[in-house]
Structure 1
Amino acid sequence: MAIITLTTDFGQKDHFVGAIKGTILSNLPEIDIVDISHKISPFHIQECAYILKNVYSAFPKGTVHIIGVDSELSPENEHLVVQVDGHFFVGANNGVMSLIASEVEPEKIMEINIPQTEVSSFAELHVFVPVACHIARGGKLEVIGRPFDGLKILKEFQPRITNDGQSIVGNIIYIDNYGNVITNIQKSLFEAYRNGRDFEIIARTNKIKAIHNTYNGIINFNLGKPQRKGPGDALALFNSAGFVELAIYKSDLNSVGGASTLLGLNYRDTVTINFL
């Protein structure tokens, strides 16, 4: 059965998500619709790309992904279908597509060109849904578009190696629902330069000297509860996407706070790993 996923910055209050789903189901009653997220920060291209890049491969090839972020049509924001790794991404030419395809060459890039399509502020409903349904039915991309070679390229932040290999300087690229901050420093890069050395992670005035593979890796269960680290303590780990992440154990951004608030860290802030 075909699958269409939805990723938007619409939130849950308004009618937009419901209208999209209802229209899809009216056209394809047997389709599976999967919500990836509707809580992307408004117009946050990098956040949208980070989420999609780390989730799309979990779906079967042939899945159609509607991207509802910064989608209003303009001469500088064309509507596209990009086929990557057997998946179809339907959205605007705002940089999300290039970030998703930064490590995998697109198989096809088509500019959507549907005659008599209504021009409106709700492109997700009036353009992306008909295109996604066409693809989900097995329709050819050439029917709904023409080849396109002007994909807007956005470069991801790249960590830098400094001090003759003694330091890795990265940036925060994503803040999750718990307030945990994800850097662009991958485990593979860290291991390539560590060479068995001790290290310290510096983020503003905070220093962390260990990286775990799980959140509760911070706890020494051989110690009694009063003596060991636990909720409220800062830690670093390699997250499930393979990046260095800074977290507060069992944090709650809506009450006690998370790493972003308690450590004073924001999107694009610098995080440095020094090898000792």
Structure 2
Amino acid sequence: MRPIITLLSDFGARDPYVAEMKGVILGICPEAVIVDVSHEVEKFNVAVGAFLLASAVRFFPKGCIHVAVVDPGVGGPRRPIFIETESGYLVGPDNGLLALAAEREGIKGVYEIKPGRYTLRMISSTFHGRDVFAPVAAYLARGTPASTLGVRVEGYAGISVFRSLPRRGWAEATILYVDSFGNLITGLSWRDAEEAGFPSASMFEVESKGRVFKALRASTYSEVGEGELALIPYGSHGFAELAVNRGDAAGLLGVKAGDRLSVKVTS
């Protein structure tokens, strides 16, 4: 199988940044298959990038290299790293972006990337995606040993937004992501939802920004009436979701990614 490298960033499609990264990769590893996960991550939103990365990684074959660049601290003290997991490699800044995917996939080792033979000769202080992460990913795809490309280190930056507060009959969490349908993916994992008793409940009160909304438990969007708010404990990405059947939950609640909300069982 040809080596697969995925790319995720907040670069958008207007500028040549993604193409420059691909050019670097193909110059080093011409046989690489490059897959774009998304380049429309909200600017500088590391938490959203972390969620999207972790969501996509688990569906790729073992041995893939996943490059993620949402890097508001580029050129600063944060380290450029790659993480070897049970399923492949994650390459990017050590700012929490790789944390959720790494923990889900199982960590084998963390490596700090040092400038040198396996990065571009001239490294910009503002574009490590092209000058550091892309070449290292390409060399990994060629089979270069991890110990050759980086120095093994202990630990990596976590990200607190994924920590929720569940207890029986109630939970508080951050909205991780709002998809293009307005569905809200919360920081409540399936296990958190079970701990709070959501799968066996039928009705809830959802509170955010001082406003309270009624929600019904559902397993599909169409299980509630059109325009009704549903809480889906077992969302498709491993987290509980809030959705409006044929509507926009984010618009109804007036919330966005990063906002907090609480959910209380009422029956």
Distance 1:39 1:260 in 2: 18
Give percent identity, aligned residues only. Answer: 28
The 1:176/1:25 distance shift into structure 2, 3 A limit, reads same
How far is 1:271 from its partner? 2.4
1:1-276 mapped onto 2 (5 Å cutoff): 1-70=2-71, 73-74=74-75, 76-103=77-104, 105-115=106-116, 117-120=121-124, 121-162=126-167, 165-194=168-197, 196-204=200-208, 205-218=211-224, 229-230=225-226, 232-237=227-232, 238-251=234-247, 258-266=248-256, 267-276=258-267
What CA distance in whole angstroms lies between the structure 2 residues aligned with 1:92 and 1:197? 41
The residue type paired with residue 236 of structure 1 is L
Aligned match of 1:222: none
**How many residue pairs get matched?**
257
For 1:189-229, what per-residue CA distance to the aligned partner results, in whole angstroms no more than 9, with x for missing partners? 333443845431313334334222222222xxxxxxxxxx3
Shift in CA distance, 196/151, structure 1 to aligned 2, threshold 3 Å: closer
User: Whole-Å Cα distance in 2 between the matches of residues 197 and 260 of structure 1?
Assistant: 23
Q: Displacement, 1:152? A: 2.0
* Shift, 1:103, TM fit: 4.5
Q: Given the two structures, how large is their TM-score scaled by the length of structure 1?
A: 0.84
The answer (yes or no) to whether the contact 1:114–1:144 under 8 Å persists in 2 is no
State the distance in 2 between where 1:193 and 1:48 align: 27
Report the aligned-residue RMSD. Answer: 2.3
Deviation at 1:93, TM superposition (A): 1.0
Larger radius of gyration: 1
Q: Which runs of 5+ in 2 are unaligned?
A: none
Structure-2 change in CA distance of 1:34 and 1:262 (3 Å): same
Partners of 2:159 and 2:196 in 1: CA distance = 27
TM-score, normalised to structure 2, is 0.86
Deviations 1:31-84 (A, max 9, x none): 111000101111111111111111101111110111111076545211111112
Moved more, 5-14 or 168-177: 168-177
Q: 1:177 to 1:188 in 2, by over 3 A?
A: same
Residues of 2 paired with 1:196 and 1:72: CA distance?
A: 43
> C-alpha distance in 2, partners of 1:150/1:185?
24
Residue 10 to residue 63, structure 1, CA distance change in 2 (3 Å):
same
Deviations 1:141-191 (A, max 9, x none): 1112111125223234433245xx332233322212222111122333333
